[in-house]
Structures are given as C-alpha cells and as structure tokens.
Chains A and B, each alone.
Chain A
Amino acid sequence: MEQTSPYEIFPIGDSALTFDLGNRICSELNQKVIAMQEWFSQHAFEGLKDVILGYSSLTIIYDPFIVHKKNKITKTVFAFVREKLESAFENKIESVSKNGEQVELPVCYDGEFGCDLPFIAETNQLSIEEIIELHLSRIYRVYMMGFLPGFAYMGKIDERIQVARKQKPVDVVAGSVGIAGGQTGIYPLDSPGGWQIIGRTPIKLFDPNTERPVKLKAGQHVRFKRIDVTEFEHLQLV
C-alpha cells in the first residue's frame, strides 16, 4: 500500500493546477504554501504566468503552449507542471519559525462604520462593546489575498463573535472591516460584499497610483487599534 499523500494536486482547467494541503484554515499549512510560493519566485519555469495563494493551497497558472515548446513533454503538460509542484513541495525552504512582520491598523467601530454590530450583538447574545473588545483581543494572520485587489483574508477571530455572511451582498464602502465565519477582512475598494461590517479603517489598503499598490501580504500579522471618529477623520486626511 502506498502511503497517503499529504497533499492533493488537481487541475483547474488546462492552464492551471492547484496544490492543496487540505481544505482547512491552519497557519502551519498556510506557512507551507507560502514557502512553496517563495520557492517558485526563485525557480520560475518558462511558461509560468502567475502563482496564487489560498489558505492551504497554491495554484500555478501556466501557458501550456510555451511549456510544451520549451520542454520535452512526454505525456501531458499537466503532468509536467504537476512534477514541478511536487518538487517545490519537496524542496521548499521550511520557514515555519519565521514570524511575519506585524502591521498595526487603526479601526473606528463607531456609529455607521460598524453598521452590522447591532445585528451580531443580537445574534450572538453579546454587547457591542464585548464584540469590539473580542475583535481587538487577537493578532490576526494574513492567510491570503484575493477577491478584490488588496483584500486580505485574516483569521481566526474568537468563536464568540463568529457569524454567518449575509444572504445577499450589499454595497460596502472602501476601508470597511468585516467578519464572516472565522475570518476577518478589510474591503480595499467600494464593492458589493456579504461580510458583516463592524468598523472602518482610514488607511488605504489599495492605491493603484503608488509604487506598492497593495499594502498587506500573506504571512504578515495584523493588530487592530481602536480609534474614534475624530482620529479617523484626521488619519483620512494624512
């Protein structure tokens, strides 16, 4: 009997494939796929177009025509790229001990900025103050970026404040801090969104006109700092 593999590799079409360590939100698995991503940034192969990080997965987007042209392909291009992923997993530099940089983000939870706080308070039988304190009580890991340019998926939040996402997306203002299940995140742009909104940050997490348009990255840690409306308005002007 073969040993069960710690990972699964499957195609997401004929030009992309996903390496998955398990459908779980877990910092060790996340650290492993970040290490693989770093390995790929130093061992890019011709035809590699993009590498996308998930919570516990890594997806390679490639150009089958270029990979086919530049390499000796005996079976399928898919099989060739799968081998690349397998060797990335074997050769990645273990950086589990390396703690990501910590970023502090100011958040105002007051009034309309935290428009869904009353709903969560009622659903989870907590006071609004308790929800805010529990949200502030942890330092969150940025697991992945996705959905929108600069949207950081962070976790995990305290179980007592976990809440389901909305049935239907509503319009959400840029800077809004939301929670959904075990996750917390910040909308970098005005966008429809289904997460419950508990506050807003005045910090621009996405600005296309700067050299580094996206401020956060996977592996970093975020600590929220509570501010009031006056500070919010002041920081927004900076």
Chain B
Amino acid sequence: MSISILRSGVLDTIQDLGRYGYGNQGINIGGPMDTYAMKVANMLVSNAANKAVLEIHFPGPQILFEQNALISLTGADFTPTINGEIVPLWKPLVVRGKSLLMFSHRQSGARCYLAVHGGFCVPQWLNSASTNLKARAGGLEGRKLEKGDEVPLGETNLYYPVLLKEKSVSVLPWSNDRTTVYQYPHEIGFIPGHEWHLLDEEAQQRLLQNNFIIHPSSDRMGYHLRGPEIKPIENFQLISSAVSFGTIQLLPNHQLIILMADHQTTGGYPRIGHVISAHLPKLAQLSASDCLNLKPVDMETAEQLLLVQEKELQIIGNGCTDRMKNAICLA
C-alpha cells in the first residue's frame, strides 16, 4: 500500500499533531498549520486524530494511488481532481487503485490536508511523524516530498469494492458544519502579551485600527506583516524566553511577525500579543497579500471559543465514526 509522487508540489510535508516534549532541547513542536482541518481530515477517514497526513501548498503535487484507498481532503480549496473529475473537500472519498490526484488552481485557503485511511507510514523521530525541515528529520527523510517518492500507507481492512460501485471515485455523502471556524477570516483575535505595555496608547490604537498585509516572505515559521510602523515607547533589553504558535512579536524594523507552526522555541523580541488558538486555523488559511486585523480578546473568551471548537470537533468525530460503520463492511 503506497502513494507515488508523480510531480512534486511547492511544499508538501508529512505532519501529525506535532513533536511534544523536546522544547527544552530547542526542538520545536511543528505539526500542521491548520490543526482543525488536519483533525477533520483524519476523522473523515476513520483515523485517530494524530495519524500522519500530507500538508499540501499550492502549486500542489500529482499523486498516484497505487491501490484502492479511502481518502479525504480538507482545508484550502486547490480544486482537487481525481482522474480529471473535480472532487469535493470535507467528504470521505473512495478512490480506485491507479487513480491520479491533481490540483488545478487555487480557489481559497493556503494549506490543504490529505488524509488516507491507515495514515502515511513514515518512521517516527522523537515520537512524531511530523517533518522538521530545519532539523532535516521526521516525516519522509526530514524533507518535503519530491517526484519519485513512494510513501507507504498503514494497514487497512476496509473492503473497497462495495463502496466504489464500479466507479473510479465515490463520494460518501456526508459532511460537517465548519462555518464558525473559518468565518470572518480576516479578523484575528489575540490576547495582549507581556510587552503590550511597551506600546503607548497611540501605537496600540494604530495596531488595532489598521489592516496588516501578509508579506510574501511568510512561511511555516512565521507571517511577516506589513502595516503602519509600531514603535515601542522605550529602549528595552529582553533576554530569550519561550514563544508559542501565534505569538505576535515586534521586530526591530517596527513591523510585526506572527510565529506559526515551525517557529523556533525561544525568542527575544517583545511579545505584543498571542493569537488565540481558536483563530489559528483561519489564520493558517490566509496567504501572502491577504490582509488581517487584530482584535483583543480576554483569556476567558479565548478559552471558551477553543473549548467550543474542540467540542464541535468531537461531535464531528463521533458522527464520522457512526456513519462510517453504517457505510462500510469491515472485513
């Protein structure tokens, strides 16, 4: 059981939920940019939430499924096609062996997740399958997928012919509501950070009332924002300490950067704020030239939004499990 990469995309990496417990060695968590889409992708194919998926950027790869497979695509819409036929996102798809998955053009979003029932089987590095590009470890040989790669898939006992009904791809007819997660895509909530007070009233207002544009140099490590100059009130010297996924730092050039999934573990720039976890999925789906504005949120609200999102995920997960049980014959 495997997939073959017939043509490589710009940046396609194997990711599970990340590598935890090694931060004190300078090894970051990594994992998917949009954990929500990644988890739903796994749920749709009856995988555990932490199974390794493929995170795809645009232009995407061309992927050949060597055998029958149960797959799902979530997150960004890069107009996926299987054997030339457009297939929907956010639904389980059964594909016949020797089928070709391609992505024709970018409609919306920045990262698409491909999950396959059984998961991608790569050796674990420090208890995780996530690709750490900087360390050149994890995932497939610590790198992005290239033309000619064959990625093995996990064992499965699904019986596909029943689902395929002689077609090359069959869409299982259920979906889930994800409107709340991605609504108001440009409004990004943040908790003011420890150095928020380094901005005077005027600088704070400038930050809150202006749009910021995501610079093309942005990547999995961080989003460089372009907007009005944000100047701190005084000279300060910070020693290095931990930062997190979503930390908004003020750089010496008076511009902001938002640290993303591949951020380094520690940093010494002022932490102006931290994007709330519930808004990281929609932030992860913004790309270069998109604009965003920052809205302050208190801790209680941030936690509530996240707890609601996680509960919804559980409901989706349970729903997927039930419907899958009804739809398939487990050998």
Contact = CB atoms under 8 A, between A and B. Distances in A.
A151 B266 CA distance: 11
A13 B194 CA distance: 10
A87 to B, nearest CB: 20
Interface stretch (A131-139, A213-221, A229-237): A213-221
A191 B133 CA distance: 12
Contacts of B21: 49-50
B24 A12 contact: no
Nearest to A147: B264
Interface residues of B, number: 48
Contact of B25 (A150, A191, A209): A150
B134 interface: yes
A14 B271 CA distance: 14
Interface in A106-165: 144-151, 153
Contact of A55 (B26, B239, B243, B267): B239
Contacts of A201: none
B328 interface: no
Contact of A149 (B135, B239, B244): B135
A198 interface: no
Contacts of A14: 191, 274, 276-277, 299, 302-303, 306
Nearest to A188: B26
B193 interface: yes
- Of the candidates A148, A189, A206, the one having the most CB atoms from chain B within 10 angstroms of its own CB is A148
B242 interface: yes
A50 to B, nearest CB: 4
Given A14-B274, A144-B266, A20 B307 contact: no
A146 B264 contact: yes
- Of the candidates B29, B126, B244, the one having the most CB atoms from chain A within 10 angstroms of its own CB is B244
B29 A50 contact: yes
A214 B240 contact: no
Contacts of A35: none
Contact of A151 (B26, B191, B242, B302): B26
A13 B244 contact: yes
Interface string B184-224: 00000001011000000000000000000000000000000
A11 B196 CA distance: 12
Contact of B20 (A24, A49, A55, A153): A49
B234 interface: no
Contacts of B246: 13
18 contacts: A14-B306, A16-B242, A18-B194, A23-B238, A37-B24, A50-B21, A51-B23, A52-B266, A54-B266, A57-B242, A76-B299, A77-B303, A144-B24, A147-B267, A149-B135, A209-B137, A217-B24, A217-B25
Interface of B: 20-29, 125-126, 132, 134-137, 142, 191, 193-194, 237-247, 264-267, 271, 274-277, 299-300, 302-303, 306-307, 310
